[in-house]
Amino acid sequence: MNRRGRMWLLPVSVLIALLLGLLPLPQPVQGLRPYWLALVVAYWVIEEPERVGLGFAFLVGVLADLVSGALLGEQALRLVVMAFILQRFRAQLRFFPLAQQALAIGGLLLNDRVVAAAIHLLLGLPQLPWPYWLAPLVGMLLWAPLFLLFDAFRQGRRSR
Amino acid sequence: MSSFANPAGPRPGDVAGTLRLLAYLALSVVLIVLDHRGGWLAQARATAGVVVQPLWQLAGLPSRLGQTMREDAATRATLAEDNRRLRNELLVMGARQARLQVEADENARLRGLLGAAGRGRLDVQLAPILDIDLDPARQRLLLNAGASEGVRQGQSVIDAGGLLGQIIAVTPGTATVLLLTDLDHAVPVSVSRSGVRLVAYGIGRSDRLELRNIPVSSDVVVGDVVVTSGLGGRFPPGFPVGTILELRPDDSHAFLVGALEPAAQLDRGRDVLLLREQPRTPLRPAPAATGNADAVDAGAPVPPASAPPDDTQPAAPPAGAADGQPPAPQPQGRTP
């Protein structure tokens, strides 16, 4: 547990994740855009459970909805669901090897797509085309490098 | 921020955590429902738009920088070539404009004979598209021009091909365009060949629009060009909306459903035109039928209207509309 208040990384990482979500991608690969914000929130929920919980996920989600012009509350709901599941399994997750952690995160991201599809279905909004279902795979592959990068920033003091 | 420190295993904290989850889920659902049903959050969005605007500008920066670099790196030869091509295009356009001018004069004369109202003039303003990806489930664009450039809510947005959509939200530096293709959008149209009046609905796909409830007996065929009809008064008449790709009977077999290909080229990172319709000239009694054209105040092209002094955008020559405006606009337009 890093108790030395290196919390500048938290707002910065959220901001960068929001920007990466807005960056224009060419049409063919748009569906593959990983859900950066979910990865960042997942990292903080696992690493800083005292500071980061459901409320944080909710607020970040509302901000993301405002920024992307999406339905207000959609990403908030999705991130809260994800944060809750993570909190439940945090004890096990922390002792997984990184590859296994990435698999779990991939599963969570896939679940997130299902939740999003369900919201769209309930409200009669158009469903996203099929390439968007590949995004969790990209997110899964990004988990390990992201995790190591964040840890490097936070002095790599993880009590394993 | 909620805190949730926990040892592993079942514990009383589980209940609190679940309650917290339910509270936040309820809050999210309330937001979703309000936003989806009520549209009550438009004001909140507009307020928040000011907060997130810097983020949008920041996200659009790489694309803008890239464009600048490409422009700076363009060789003299490329520029000369571009210049030559644009000059040629300008010549062709000038010739077309001259022909249209003749038509417009004749149109004005005939309108005078009919005693029809003259059309309001149009003047346009260029606005760059901010190159960022918004929520893919919604057909929206962000313009890099806002209230400080004189953009107003409800303005029609066009490009060289035809109608793109309308402005639905304005912050000081940006404006949101609701595209024709958005699920929430409907535009009154008429078939330019036969004058049949219909409504084109967005279906949430960027390459399709839908015409519903076309009477089987109406004079509509595949390949017809559909233009705005001006009914409802939100869009000016005569701008291309799309081309009919196919017609099929709907579920009741009493009507046809048509698929439209949008006329506007939705290519991000370019500029669009915003229409500023000038106040319509008051209706005059029809002049005596002498064929005297200048007795009628019609929508003949005029010299470029100068933009308001606070306006940083260049004002382009006015676009001439090509269709009659029904005398009595009916309230209609977007579905809620």
pLDDT tens for each residue of B155-214: 999 988 889 999 988 888 888 899 998 888 999 999 989 989 999 999 888 888 999 989
Token readout for B12 is 């009383």
**Residues B210, B89 share a domain:** no
Please tell me the total number of residues recorded for chain B in this structure.
336
Beta bridge partners of B200: B187, B211
Tell the CATH topology of A8-156. Arp2/3 complex 21 kDa subunit ARPC3 (1.10.1760)
B151 in a domain, yes or no? yes
Domain boundary among B275, B301, B326: B275
Residues whose CB is less than 8 angstroms from the CB of residue B202 and which lie 6 or more positions away in sequence, other chains included: B139, B179, B180, B181, B182, B183, B184, B185, B186, B209, B210
* B243, B176: one domain: yes
pLDDT in tens, A65-95: 888 888 888 999 999 999 999 999 988 888 8
Same domain, B72 and B174: no
pLDDT at B306: 39
Residue B27, token pair as written in the block: 């809050």
Mean pLDDT for B1-30 is 71
Number of Cβ pairs closer than 8 Å across A and B?
144
Work out whether strand B163-170 and strand B175-179 pair parallel, antiparallel, or are unpaired.
Answer: antiparallel
Chain B residue whose CA is closest to A45: B4
My answer on whether B149 and B111 are in the same domain is no
Question: B232 and B110, same structural domain?
Answer: no
CA distance B132 to chain A (A): 5
Looking up residue B230, the CATH number of its domain turns out to be 2.40.10.350
- Let me know whether B74 and B152 are in one domain: no
B209 and B106 co-located in one domain:
no
Q: What is the DSSP letter of B274?
A: E
* Residue B97 and residue B73 in one domain: yes
What distance in Å separates residue A130's CA from the closest CA in chain B?
Answer: 12
CB contact under 8 A, A54 and B24: yes
Q: Residues with Cβ < 8 Å from B207, sequence gap 6 or more? A: B181, B261, B262
The model's confidence at residue B322, banded by pLDDT at 50, 70 and 90, is very low
Whole-number Cα distances in Å, B15 to A103, A134, B22, B202: 28, 35, 11, 45
Residues B91 and B176 in one domain: no
Cβ distance of B4 and A53 shorter than 8 Å: yes
In the block, tokens 């940083």 appear at B312
Measured between alpha carbons, how far is B79 from B104 in angstroms, rounded to an integer?
35
CA distance A109 to B101: 59
Contacting residues of B for A126, CB less than 8 Å apart: 137, 183, 203-205
Domain boundary among B104, B119, B134: B119
* Domain that includes residue B266, residue range: 124-275
Q: What is the pLDDT of residue B174?
A: 87
**Which chain B residues in 64-123 lie under 8 Å from chain A, judged by CB atoms?**
none
Q: Measure the CA–CA gap between A42 and A57, rounded to whole angstroms.
A: 9
For A18-133, strand residue ranges (E) read none
Structure tokens at B63: 């694309």
Residues B138, B183: Cα–Cα separation, whole Å: 8
- Taking the C-alpha atoms of residue B139 and residue B165, their distance in angstroms, rounded to an integer, is 10
Distance from CA of B17 to the nearest CA of A (A): 8
Residues B157, B250, single domain; the answer is yes
Residues B109 and B232 in one domain: no
**Alpha carbon of B236: minimum distance to chain A alpha carbons (Å):** 27
- For residues B242 and B209, the answer to whether their CB atoms sit within 8 Å is yes
Place of tokens 């209706």: B283
Place of tokens 């589980």: B14
B54 assigned to some structural domain: no
> Contact A21/B133, CB-based, under 8 Å?
yes
One domain, residues B132 and B266: yes
CA dihedral B299, B302, B306, B308 (to 10 degrees): -20
* Encoded tokens for B5: 């420190």
- The pLDDT-based confidence of B57 (bands split at 50, 70, 90) is confident
Higher-scoring residue by pLDDT: B233, B166? B166
Tell the residue number behind the tokens 């990983």, with chain if given: A34
**Assigned domain for B198 exists:** yes
> What is the tally of structural domains in chain B?
2
- Residue B143's beta-bridge partner residues? B129, B175
Residue A82 has what pLDDT? 94
> What is the structure's pLDDT at B201?
94
pTM recorded for the entire structure? 0.73
Q: Is residue B13 part of a domain?
A: no
Reported as a single tens digit per residue, the pLDDT across B197-207 is 999 999 888 88
Distance CA A112, CA A35 (A): 10
